Amino acid sequence: MKVNGDVAALDVEPWVSLLDALRERLGVTGPKKGCDQGACGACTVLADGVRINSCLALAVQYDGQEITTIEGVDHPLQEAFVRNDGLQCGYCTSGQICSAIGMLAEHAAGMPSAAGGSGALTEDEVRERMSGNLCRCGAYNGIVDAIMEVAR
């Protein structure tokens, strides 16, 4: 498995989640654990560019794949989040940013959504497509603003 460009050789039991492998075995703590059951999105990482909930993924399934966590992200969204105050406590932020990167790629690839689908990215589209990432501080407005700013 490659994590943020570096080869990571890991010997883990088959029941170890990708999230726990990253956080507890590799010390890559950017992806967060908020629920451990795919409900909050704080653990979102990119697997070969596709956003996934790493808490619902088994590490062994990702043998040979390229995993990108927030530590490996270098994207205008990061500064946009700060400028638009798309964060408060910061615990959901890694997942929000990784998810937004994956979401923008999905939209560009024409993947439909319940809010309407393809065409220009609207705020409602972003809200729909980002609804798997919870923010209890309620920074949703700033997150949407940051994503819209980068998408334009």
Residue 95: closest CA among 59, 53, 145, 129: 53
Q: Between residues 39 and 108, which has the closer beta carbon with respect to another protein?
A: 39
Smallest gap from residue 140 Cβ to another protein (A): 4
Q: Site residues (CB under 8 A) for another protein?
A: 13, 15-16, 20, 23-24, 27, 29-30, 32-40, 42, 69-71, 73, 78-79, 81-83, 85, 87-94, 97, 115, 123, 126-128, 130-144
Smallest gap from residue 138 Cβ to another protein (A): 3
- Tokens linked to 65: 């794949």
Smallest gap from residue 45 Cβ to another protein (A): 11
Smallest gap from residue 88 Cβ to another protein (A): 3
Q: Between residues 90 and 117, which has the closer beta carbon with respect to another protein?
A: 90
Q: How far is CA 84 from the centre of its chain?
A: 18
**Looking at beta carbons, which pairs linking 135-142 to residues 24 or more positions away fall under 8 Å?**
135/87, 135/88, 135/92, 135/96, 136/89, 136/92, 137/87, 137/88, 137/89, 137/92, 138/88, 139/85, 139/86, 139/87, 139/88, 142/81, 142/84, 142/85, 142/86, 142/87
